[in-house]
Amino acid sequence: MPFDTEDNTFLLPGPVKMHPRVTRAMAVPAVAHRGTEFAKQSQEMNRLLQQVFQTQAPVVTLTGSGTAGMEAAAVSLLKKSDKVVGIDNGKFGNRMCKLAAMYGDATILKAEWGQPVALDELERTLRTVKPKALFLTHNETSVGFTNPLQEIARLCREHDTLVVADVITSLGGIDVPVDKWGIDVAITGSQKALGVPAGLAYVSVSEKALSRMYKDQGFYLNLPKYVAKVAEGQTPYTPATHLYFATIEALKLLLQEGLENRFRKVRAQAEAVRGAVAAMGLELFPAEGYASDTVTAIKYPQGVDDSKFRKALKDTHSLIIAGGQDDVKGKIFRIGHMGTVSFVELAGGLAAIETELVRAGAKVNRGAWLAPFQDRMP
């Protein structure tokens, strides 16, 4: 049977499966984007975003993917005379560092992909460089790795360094209490844990960050311009109105479930998947103790070809998972579990994965995955 784009098991680490209520929310007529009705809806969306970001700070919305939010932070905060430190230990941390270096005077702390940087080295760097900001990616989707953001933010506060965090695949899936941890600029994208179509970046801006931003840098991506209008439910340029409607629906679904409940579910699913792949005899890619709860990255066993394997999953089992990117292309595969995906879908996915690994000649402990997976089922 040919692959059905409307009926399959979708386990990418973003975009993620969307609830039908979210896509249905967009099936409405055109709206006057400067009218009072839309302004009220925008204000509602902003309030819901603040709840999900766990912040009192304004959360602004840019039309663009997550990277637009990342660049907006860099262009609004940094001039070539500003010192900035970046953490590069994955594809997206590397992107944050490139942006930091493009706009500011950057010092980059590097580690192998999926390995943490030493916190004492970070502390020393903050003390000697005295940067205006630290740029990092919290959850490295590329390698299924989570940086210890809370500890890193604590060090930054001690050195009066602003924390600019890409929380694109953590916020909404993993607990990221923006105010409590002191994240000055937190950036996420619509198509990840929030389960909205791609096309929006949501960015929280602390008072301290705002006071240190440049009002005359960047045009479309100047964050102070967005902050100035957010309270009235307006944006400097035409907003992607219907993506706002989708966002409101998705945020309501998430808040109805309850943030704590969602984080617990995502954690349990991550543990179930990790337990299952270990029982199969497979290894995770990231350093031990740093595995992400929203995406699991698994090393291919000897002899399994990435494109053939994922083609078989798609063509034979209607299952979509991700491969590796850039440096780890062909070496890992990735399973996303950050949104409304169910345990039942994950179980089906794992059964198909094991089947195709066996067919590809990999040595796996057949059937051993089920018990540890079931142990984490609700």
Q: Does 316 bind ligand PLP (CB under 6 A)?
A: no
Site string for ligand PLP, 159-188 (x = CB under 6 A): -------x-xx-------------------
Between β-strands 200-205 and 185-189, what pairing exists: parallel, antiparallel or unpaired? antiparallel
Q: Binders of ligand PLP: how many residues, by CB under 6 A? A: 12
Candidate segments 133-141, 253-261, 309-317, 358-366, binder of ligand PLP by CB under 6 A: 133-141
Q: Does 336 bind ligand PLP (CB under 6 A)?
A: no
Q: Does 114 bind ligand PLP (CB under 6 A)?
A: no
Q: Which is nearer to ligand PLP, 166 or 354 (CB)?
A: 166
Q: Does 41 bind ligand PLP (CB under 6 A)?
A: no
Residue 174 C-beta: closest distance to ligand PLP, Å: 12
Degrees, nearest 5: CA angle 77-197-192? 60
- Phi and psi angles of residue 60, each rounded to the nearest 5 degrees, phi first: -100, 160
Residue with tokens 């959360």: 59
Q: Does 269 bind ligand PLP (CB under 6 A)?
A: no
Closest to 261 (Cα-Cα) out of 173, 372, 138, 150: 173
Q: Does 87 bind ligand PLP (CB under 6 A)?
A: no
Q: Does 199 bind ligand PLP (CB under 6 A)?
A: no
- Helix boundaries (H) for 1-57: 20-24, 36-53
In sign, the C-alpha dihedral spanning 14, 17, 19, 25 is positive
Q: Are the CB atoms for 180 and 53 separated by under 8 Å? A: no
Burial 95-109 (b: 16+ CB within 10 A, else e): bbbbbbbebbbbbbb
Alpha carbons 61 and 202: distance in angstroms, whole number: 5
Interface residue with ligand PLP, options 42, 107, 141, 247 (CB under 6 A): 141
Q: Does 14 bind ligand PLP (CB under 6 A)?
A: yes
Residue 171 C-beta: closest distance to ligand PLP, Å: 10
Q: Does 290 bind ligand PLP (CB under 6 A)?
A: no
Tell me which residues touch ligand PLP (CB under 6 A): 14, 65-67, 92, 137, 139, 141, 166, 168-169, 189
